[in-house]
Amino acid sequence: MGREPMIEPFADFAGRAGRWILEIGVGMEADHLRFLKGRAEAVGIDLSPHSLKITSLRAKTEGVRVAFANADAEGLPFPDNSFDMVFSWGVLGHVRGAHHAIREIHRCSSQQASCV
């Protein structure tokens, strides 16, 4: 479970097989990799091109294919209802227009939004 064991119960990494997951703020990709290893179809966004480069290198060493976009949570570049779940851990508190981001999360999510 690693450094933040409280994530597992609600993220349910292993129980998302076949589900489309959007992660906002992939950071160092720890959670994103867990979704992928649980056989979810996961897409990640981050504002930092440097972070995306690091996470892509990490995924390559882990042998996992990733789909990333350099994007802003306040204007997600995805159609309505694109994802079964939107996941974000510790990111939305840093978004200036968090209300716009939350509206975008609900627009892109067909079932639930899990954001912490």
Residues 73-89: pLDDT tens digits? 999 999 999 999 999 98
Nearest CA among 2, 11, 1, 4 for reference residue 113? 11
The token pair at 85 is 């779940």
Question: Which residues share a beta bridge with 23?
Answer: 44, 87
H helices of 1-116, in order, are 7-11, 30-37, 49-62, 98-108
Fold of 20-115: Rossmann fold (3.40.50)
- pLDDT, average across residues 87-106: 90
The token pair at 100 is 């716009």
What pTM does this model have? 0.87
Q: Which residues have CB under 8 Å from 12's CB, separation 6+?
A: none
Answer whether 56's CB lies under 8 Å from 68's CB: yes
Per-residue pLDDT of 46-83, as tens digits, reads 999 998 888 888 888 988 888 999 999 999 999 999 99
